[in-house]
Structure 1
């Protein structure tokens, strides 16, 4: 029997199914500047959405921190105990000075923001089922599995969101992960390696981290890209393969890992997608999901340039302008099989 959790609760219909907390952002004595990741990008996205009058503080869902009991739904106690060693967290986050900090500070200044974002992803999973869509402004820690972290990912939020839905929401028994971050999502792949309930589609630069051959065995639809892949080829592959994946199996929920490290000039992604290409990519994924009445949860994942926050916000605004997301409740509809065949 599932343990009680504070992460599933009724949300006012006046709120957008957009989850965020100011505690997502990592700031501590400038240490965050020693990693290429913009550890304040989540707050910048929210500020852009506020400036565009899409949201207010009262109309977004305030994220809650995932507790140890929540994390144990996926993670082993042994792994969580390892995070009490600062050198382990320094290795996972790739911020060497964390090594010499007292772990109490590491827990509060580094890991708590990641636990907040993890709680946000779990919450957004339930919201997606209730509303038809949801966006966690953070999350997408796709390099973390139940027993190990890496690549700035300390908690397996994607795996947790799916396991929570399987255990706690009636009628949710199949999930599709569409991972469009520039890097292979080896964490959730390791977690669902032998689980036929989860279909994984992964589009990534074949030449970069993590190159996890063992985890690749979990990918049902693998699209490996070359250095410098540009908009036309990329968007064609995304549209073709998202449709193909959803033709192979109709899930009860889609988890969409919408990394912006595909952006041209990203120091870690190695691809060459324009800002307009990223916005169009998200539009394609939401258009297909919404046309088939499949609930979709979007997390924002990687992106290592300052301009990615603006692009994420512009993409969300574009989804709204096109009517692909709205504030109103969206009851799950019965799918017309002819629509699926036509897509």
Structure 2
């Protein structure tokens, strides 16, 4: 029995320009480009996610922390991310989390799916940590 073709979740909104930062935030576009160029992936499907909603994020993250992110309040809860804090970055994390949710749902429905972003598992319920503002894995579960 052959496995179904994997589904990929991707958005150009995953990519960030973090000049001089150690986190390679353009890697998501680079992966997408390589997959699209490789004939082995020609039959694979790509879907674009919607951002995770506040209510979805609040299933895992504390409301005070989410409010800090939305208001761009560089509080003690936020600064440990080691990332800049701006709308583009927060939007990318919300979108990436939506992608992880979508990939999980599609994997359940179709057998295999993956988000080309995500894996930001270092974020805690009440604070950022290690380049992670949102724990997309925990939200998706």
Are the structure 2 counterparts of residues 24 and 161 from structure 1 closer, same or farther at C-alpha, using a change threshold of 3 Å? same
SS of 1:37's equivalent in the other structure is: coil
Partner of 1:175: none
Partner of 1:79: 65
Can you list the C-alpha shifts for 1:31-54, whole angstroms capped at 9, x where unaligned? x02321111000000100111131
Where relative contact order (Cα < 8 A, 6+ residues apart) is larger, the structure is 2
SS of 1:34's equivalent in the other structure is: coil
* Alignment partners' CA distance in 2, 1:116 and 1:125: 14
- Select the residue among 2, 9, 15 that pairs with 1:25: 15
Partner of 1:124: 103
Partner of 1:177: none
- Select the residue among 82, 91, 99 that pairs with 2:79: 91
Q: Output the aligned Cα RMSD.
A: 2.3
Larger Cα-atom Rg: 1
* Alignment partners' CA distance in 2, 1:112 and 1:48: 24
SS of 2:19's equivalent in the other structure is: helix
TM-score, reference length from structure 1: 0.37
User: Are the counterparts in 2 of residues 117 and 139 from structure 1 also a CA contact under 8 Å?
Assistant: yes
Higher strand share: 1
Confirm whether residue 42 of structure 1 aligns to residue 28 of structure 2. Answer: yes
Can you list the C-alpha shifts for 1:176-229, whole angstroms capped at 9, x where unaligned? xxxxxxxxxxxxxxxxxxxxxxxxxxxxxxxxxxxxxxxxxxxxxxxxxxxxxx
Moved over 6 A (4+): none
* Alignment partners' CA distance in 2, 1:161 and 1:46: 22
Count of residues in correspondence between the two structures: 135
Confirm whether residue 148 of structure 1 aligns to residue 115 of structure 2. Answer: no
TM superposition shift of 1:91:
1.9
Q: Provide structure 2 residue ranges, at least 5 long, that are not aligned to the other structure.
A: none
How do 1:160-171 residues align onto structure 2 when only pairs under 5 Å count?
160-162=139-141
User: Are the counterparts in 1 of residues 28 and 117 from structure 2 also a CA contact under 8 Å?
Assistant: yes
Deviation larger for 130-139 or 84-93: 84-93
TM-score, reference length from structure 2: 0.84
* Alignment partners' CA distance in 2, 1:55 and 1:145: 38
